[in-house]
Structure 1
């Protein structure tokens, strides 16, 4: 008996001792966790299966973990990847390749003011992560997304470095106001304008605008969320009519200090040329047409004289690190890109610093982010509204190829018999320098009152200062402006300052085992100011002869200009203030049924007293079909989700003084009315319906989305002629009762892993958007409501090409029909113009692919649009056949036509061309060496941008949109001697320390 009792007493002790002995025998496991492309996964969780013991991967995706000898399995997981178990019973080293999982339903997506679990999203939201961005020479954040998102149309309107990128989500929404989406950077709403002043010297005209987002360092963007429908964007109310693009920058990661370095250098050339006659063809043409003898005996390529192989350099370094209570990241970027046109250049310097810190047992979080940037431009005299003698491109295209540009003594030839300005001389005499300094910052403090209730406060600011200095020296002759033979200069300064103040209270709680609520309420105040000044003068006393010049620029010596010709000016736009109250609630039942309701009330100072506030609701629901019992164990479908939504958003992107009486005082004391006020002016409202289907198939190898959308913009704002009590007529901003703009279409997106192997991997992303656009206003009848698409150059005084008209696409081409030539080579045209073409594409597509083999990888990106027309204003006004009589060059294709040089320049469908194209916009080949001593993830690469385009269009690039607005009505699809598209080649290295 005693022995049995003793055995029972010591048996548990023996068991514990045995267990301790077993588990005191340990082993060490090391390994690397990579994604499907071979890059290390940072912060992946590595735990012993069935326990809580584990670690996370470092910045290179490697880990080291001590485990009991008896451990057989490790569980690997990371956000955005499918979890994976690894057998370690017979190996101390593991090399794991995770598979991206787009169906990670618990992943949090930022959808305006707060995060929402992916399973709860009911609207149309696209998220593009850094690993999926376009690569190569990227000057603006929008270019990262080109061809990546269904429903997102991105057009590089100019080849000029830093030129404006035009972005539209699901078509043209408005006939007058802006169609650009709202940009939000780390929660700070941007104004959308650039402080770069306009410089339009007499005789040269207005140069294209720059992109307002150039100041952002694309290397520091971690992901971009595109909110496309009203259910997703209604939380932004009056700002969300054109969709919302949220940019999230990179933050510090937990771990030791890490340095990331990326550097590249390369050059640019022309992607495409416009065919004009060479010297031999020109001689043959003047003989064929019996033109006055303008053969000067030389053989030159004038356009080649203004083109160069521009050199590009980009350098980026980032330092980051931290722990659970505090993280930081600091980065610096320096870029220097020469344009392919002489004397054009973009220099960019950007510094970023951010931190995220936690206090009071991690209940209090304080985050901050600051961006400081300086963007400098040297701008060539390439105008969008000048005649043929005022813009460098046209001058080079039509210069007589038998006439030298420089004489033997090195001076410029300024005695062209045609009276044409020498393009090289204009480039030398013209200097235009812009310098913009931008500060974007925010501070955010949040406090967790309970685990399920959090209050947050954010203050953000965006300040921009733009300085521009320009001159035309007096020795240049023939430009036709007041600088001609006298010299002119200007100094201009613009300022932009916007502020955002936001309070939010977020409730996020599981109520029982089947029901969860994510609710948000908030208040926001936004204010923006825009002002500037200018000084210009003409008539200088020096640099009036090209052989006797000094290096002092006119804009640095304005006092030398004639006092009688001095002009000064200043402006200040009305301050715009928006006060908002908003709320959103997301309900989820059993993880399968979600309902989202959103409401926002906006009050804006832009509107009259009768309609100061407007209200924007939305309601949407989703059903996770794959979560139902009848879908379990389906061998093909992993996730299947149906979304349905309706909502309203607003548009207030128009002149800040639209509701006010606006007068202009002249120098003689007289007063004129710009426009009359309208206290009843109200918001444009966009109603949006969306039905979508999200799915993943074949063990999450194939992902897809299909959306049908319908948008209706009601009460469009229009500057209309109105009678006044005095009997005099005037103009006034009005809402067009009964009018609306309609956009409807289907989006399809597919992406996934085609091949996943040990050494070889292949993934692809394809998307297509089918869209129809129409303006409806029965009261207008058949006649155009307004004209736009203004044309410039020879024979175009007062000419237009487009209209806003009932039952027609927005900016429909409105032209006489060209019916050929008569027996004398003179054009035959219809008596009246008609609606003859749509500048809006009915299909745009994107395709990208990543292929890797061992340490080699290649990335390709393409995009295209189809079904739209372009008006070739360049062919009509610059390269017309009458040039040959005047001693100027012509388009090479004209000599085979039956057209007579006596044929007058006439606006017609003759110059309406197909705008359809497909472009290979980026390609990158990379070799990853891995870790080389102190250098981690060392890789070298070569990349190219704008490699080729497939198109029938005869201009530089069918991806073009020169601003040809008339009376404030935007245009679309008109091309007039824009800056040629640049093809850029880069070679670079990247590594971390």
Structure 2
């Protein structure tokens, strides 16, 4: 008992002494070159997990520090400082840039380099430059941020993906999208069946950076899939020796459509019908319905992110959970996402073996709205009511025979709201992308590493769609039902050696390796066959193809002035016959770092000046799901069975094939200059390129009997594209409290088909660009000497007041008759140039940014107006009338004039794409940030339609994008 009493007294005595022994240290961490504070610096007691990070002003406070401890200050891009603690309560630290670290910040294929040592057209886009807001699809982050990269945003459907084009694309019928590589795993360029966007698996909040490889000197290491550029996406990882941090981030959004299609209101429509001869005004109703108001609503959404991360000396982890829910502006449209992202890093054997595991799991839930309601809302009679108590169609008004029977008018427009609400179309996608990367430093040769990169991308998609028997859209006496199940699998194994070393004044970097990737798709399902009145199982459709590759690259930095790099990839694809299966893709590039020459080394204002040039070859083998060189038989679908007596039997249909089909081949020349002045306060680059695609994969007509179809995908023709890309960035203000940076890029481009026909006919062309109004009508063409998105129209004749004269066109060939020969190529949908402008400002803890984008020199075909002619409303074969675009009041066209260039309208625009305001409240233990963002804010355009930013240049029943307002809150401790 005495012993216990004495021990307790001793503990009570020592307890306050322990408080005195543990000290608190605070201070500020600043940048050596500018004196500016550095937020996010890791401050840790070496050998422990006791640590913190600096706030927005570079301030930190760390507790429980004892004399003799070593404080470690580390931040990416700066040399780590280790300072012994000697009892001081205030410790200010200055960090200097670590050139060795900065030299390893840009990823390239199967390796990395620095921006100053890159000889190809390579650009890195970091989080500080990303667009803000409730971003669901990753490509939205970099819209307008990179010269030569055009990202056309998705439609207004929630979760939908945009169209990405790097240097305009290079093919006609083959895939024109860039290769996307996520943490070392190249994604299937065909996408994932059932997913609104294949990139939605990657949580935008977890992206560390994008690296865009534009020219063939940079992309040819990826060979057969790199003809349209490469985008490398790196996701966030834990940081070594960083304390435990937990972040909760939420973004809540609301959005509404910006405008509606201009159609006649009820009064205008009644007046028009009553003014036309041979019409029956008694068919009109007594209502005044705005059908577009009926199908659109306010979209709401929320994105929640929970992130935990911590770093030790040899192990780091980062775990993120994301929940996304968004409704569309079109009623019944919904997108939901639950994803789990894990990143683990482990160093073993005295850091000679580095293991990295990343895994992204996602479950997407979608309710797909019937977008046919958009066209229905434009065309439906505005004098009719939404509901009819006598209607057998669940109470929705529908046109009926004599408006008294229960039989719908089959050719009449369907009730747009019923089209949405009587349609059940849901789908679930379960997907996982996992990558294990192991890098081993070979002990017997300094600088030699061996890398194994194994990954898989697996997705399952299941869903169903149905309509009840009470829907007027359903033909017959039964409803519709379809159920489907699909599997997408992508397996990857890369192995390669990398050797880096310095010999005298020459730095060398060698890479050699092997890659194997296999793609598998399986489509199955069942449906209700109205002919047999039974549920019928679909015959499984299986597609499988593989790529095997050998690659090598050698790079030299001579005297820190001259750069030389060359690569070669040898690819084999199972899509082609054995004799055409393999092809090689070489590249070579050089650079000259002028800023390291003696005459500029001490100039005082030149920070960087490098000229570079390169040549490379890439290919394209994305020709669709089938093997183009094999004869394949496809099972018949519903309604295509063959009848023997009273029984119907499925058939096998032979598909077209070309046994000699082979790679598209692309040659690319690029010359560029990178510059930076006044400590890089002004910096930028200029690139000029010339690109030629031969053995073009295109769908072309073939003579009757020459194949099993009248259209065949084969190698025919050439395209040429050329362009100039300019990017300029500058820091207008740099100070401790206020910073202002501006980045601007502009791209001039020109695409041309230089050969197309297998023969010598100079007038040969292939119709393209289907339009609404009549089956088979097209408004564009492929023809030698023209852009692939060129319109094909008659030249309209106007009266003295500038009004179009119906049916009057220019007689181009002078034969005194208007025939098909008078249709001419005219204007194009691709812009002559496009630009992006980003401003970023911060004052202390307040930050503000905005992004403008613009397209110029492109045109659009206004199909919503070309469908507006009096006959479309009055010359109906049954007892109903269809609404029209208000443009009919200007033209008074009686019959359709689909091919008049009157409907080819300028699509130039400038758009305030994104504007964001945020404030960070730094506290000792917790950082709290709030932000407000508006997206799709403002359009400046003369286009008469709903939205000029439509990728293919044909405006027909476009799902409108919404203007969104987003409130964001973030809590970190």
TM-score bracket for this pair, using the shorter chain length = 0.7 to 0.9
Q: Distance in 1 between matches of 2:256 and 2:121?
A: 39
Instruction: Give runs of aligned pairs for residues 973-988 of structure 1, distance below 5 A.
Output: 973-988=953-968
Where does residue 478 of structure 2 map in the other structure? 486
Q: Is the alpha carbon distance of 1:654 and 1:38 closer, same or farther for their aligned partners in structure 2, counting shifts above 3 Å?
A: farther
Where does residue 686 of structure 1 map in the other structure? 666
| 8 Å contact from structure 2 (residues 221, 568) kept in 1 | yes
Q: Distance in 1 between matches of 2:658 and 2:751?
A: 31
Deviates more, 1:183-192 or 1:950-959: 950-959
Secondary structure at the counterpart of residue 626 of structure 1: helix
Where does residue 631 of structure 1 map in the other structure? 600
Q: Distance in 1 between matches of 2:418 and 2:605?
A: 68
Among residues 932, 936, 939, which one is paired with 2:929 in the alignment? 939
Q: Deviations over 1:735-791 (max 9, x none)?
A: 22xx31111010001112111223322111110000000001174543243221112
Where does residue 765 of structure 1 map in the other structure? 743
Q: Distance in 1 between matches of 2:97 and 2:125?
A: 13
Q: Distance in 2 between matches of 1:895 and 1:750?
A: 47
Q: Is the alpha carbon distance of 1:880 and 1:911 closer, same or farther for their aligned partners in structure 2, counting shifts above 3 Å?
A: farther
Where does residue 510 of structure 2 map in the other structure? 519
Shift of 1:648: 0.5
Q: Is the alpha carbon distance of 1:495 and 1:279 closer, same or farther for their aligned partners in structure 2, counting shifts above 3 Å?
A: same
Q: Is the alpha carbon distance of 1:874 and 1:96 closer, same or farther for their aligned partners in structure 2, counting shifts above 3 Å?
A: farther
Shift of 1:181: 0.3
Where does residue 990 of structure 1 map in the other structure? 970
Among residues 700, 722, 739, which one is paired with 2:680 in the alignment? 700
Secondary structure at the counterpart of residue 198 of structure 2: coil
Where does residue 965 of structure 1 map in the other structure? none
Shift of 1:414: 2.0
Among residues 653, 657, 662, which one is paired with 1:676 in the alignment? 657
| 8 Å contact from structure 1 (residues 760, 853) kept in 2 | yes
Aligned residue pairs: how many? 889
1:431 aligns with 2:424: yes
Gaps of 5+ in 1: 1-25, 48-54, 67-73, 198-208, 383-390, 540-561, 962-971
Q: Distance in 2 between matches of 1:196 and 1:509?
A: 45
| 8 Å contact from structure 1 (residues 38, 97) kept in 2 | no
Shift of 1:508: 0.6
Where does residue 453 of structure 1 map in the other structure? 448
Q: Distance in 1 between matches of 2:187 and 2:41?
A: 32
Secondary structure at the counterpart of residue 523 of structure 1: strand
Q: Distance in 2 between matches of 1:884 and 1:268?
A: 37
Shift of 1:98: 8.9
Among residues 882, 894, 903, which one is paired with 2:888 in the alignment? 894
RMSD: 3.4
Q: Deviations over 1:334-387 (max 9, x none)?
A: 0110101110011011100110101111111111111100111111111xxxxx
Where does residue 39 of structure 2 map in the other structure? 41
| 8 Å contact from structure 1 (residues 676, 730) kept in 2 | no
Instruction: Give runs of aligned pairs for residues 958-969 of structure 1, distance below 5 A.
Output: 958-961=948-951
Q: Distance in 2 between matches of 1:131 and 1:726?
A: 57
Q: Is the alpha carbon distance of 1:907 and 1:37 closer, same or farther for their aligned partners in structure 2, counting shifts above 3 Å?
A: farther
Where does residue 159 of structure 1 map in the other structure? 156
Q: Distance in 2 between matches of 1:161 and 1:911?
A: 30
Q: Distance in 1 between matches of 2:296 and 2:146?
A: 34
Q: Is the alpha carbon distance of 1:95 and 1:697 closer, same or farther for their aligned partners in structure 2, counting shifts above 3 Å?
A: farther
Q: Is the alpha carbon distance of 1:129 and 1:570 closer, same or farther for their aligned partners in structure 2, counting shifts above 3 Å?
A: farther
Among residues 400, 405, 408, which one is paired with 2:381 in the alignment? 400
Shift of 1:977: 0.3
Shift of 1:84: 13
| 8 Å contact from structure 1 (residues 116, 518) kept in 2 | no
Where does residue 619 of structure 1 map in the other structure? 588
Where does residue 551 of structure 2 map in the other structure? 582
Q: Distance in 1 between matches of 2:595 and 2:611?
A: 10
Among residues 924, 930, 943, which one is paired with 2:916 in the alignment? 924
Q: Is the alpha carbon distance of 1:422 and 1:236 closer, same or farther for their aligned partners in structure 2, counting shifts above 3 Å?
A: same
Q: Is the alpha carbon distance of 1:865 and 1:100 closer, same or farther for their aligned partners in structure 2, counting shifts above 3 Å?
A: farther
Q: Is the alpha carbon distance of 1:57 and 1:516 closer, same or farther for their aligned partners in structure 2, counting shifts above 3 Å?
A: farther
Where does residue 204 of structure 2 map in the other structure? 218
1:593 aligns with 2:593: no
Secondary structure at the counterpart of residue 263 of structure 2: coil
| 8 Å contact from structure 2 (residues 169, 177) kept in 1 | no
Where does residue 270 of structure 1 map in the other structure? 257
Q: Is the alpha carbon distance of 1:612 and 1:859 closer, same or farther for their aligned partners in structure 2, counting shifts above 3 Å?
A: same
Q: Distance in 2 between matches of 1:448 and 1:727?
A: 56
Where does residue 310 of structure 2 map in the other structure? 321
Instruction: Give runs of aligned pairs for residues 262-661 of structure 1, distance below 5 A.
Output: 262-289=249-276, 292-293=280-281, 295-382=284-371, 391-407=372-388, 411-415=395-399, 419-450=412-443, 451-477=446-472, 479=473, 483=475, 486-512=478-504, 514-537=505-528, 563-564=532-533, 566-655=535-624, 656-661=626-631
Among residues 186, 207, 226, which one is paired with 1:240 in the alignment? 226
Secondary structure at the counterpart of residue 214 of structure 1: helix
Q: Is the alpha carbon distance of 1:674 and 1:28 closer, same or farther for their aligned partners in structure 2, counting shifts above 3 Å?
A: closer
Secondary structure at the counterpart of residue 442 of structure 2: strand
Shift of 1:27: 12
| 8 Å contact from structure 1 (residues 770, 844) kept in 2 | yes
Q: Distance in 2 between matches of 1:230 and 1:880?
A: 53
Among residues 208, 212, 216, which one is paired with 1:230 in the alignment? 216
Q: Deviations over 1:271-290 (max 9, x none)?
A: 23222223333344345546
| 8 Å contact from structure 1 (residues 920, 947) kept in 2 | yes
Q: Distance in 2 between matches of 1:106 and 1:860?
A: 30
Where does residue 16 of structure 2 map in the other structure? none
1:106 aligns with 2:103: yes
Shift of 1:32: 4.2
Q: Is the alpha carbon distance of 1:727 and 1:122 closer, same or farther for their aligned partners in structure 2, counting shifts above 3 Å?
A: closer
Shift of 1:117: 2.8
User: Could you state the TM-score of these two structures normalised by the residue count of structure 1?
Assistant: 0.84
Q: Is the alpha carbon distance of 1:465 and 1:296 closer, same or farther for their aligned partners in structure 2, counting shifts above 3 Å?
A: same
Among residues 192, 195, 211, which one is paired with 2:192 in the alignment? 195
Q: Distance in 1 between matches of 2:307 and 2:146?
A: 28
Where does residue 752 of structure 1 map in the other structure? 730
Secondary structure at the counterpart of residue 892 of structure 1: coil
Q: Deviations over 1:434-472 (max 9, x none)?
A: 211111001111210144011011110000111121012
More RCO (CA 8 Å, sep 6+): 1
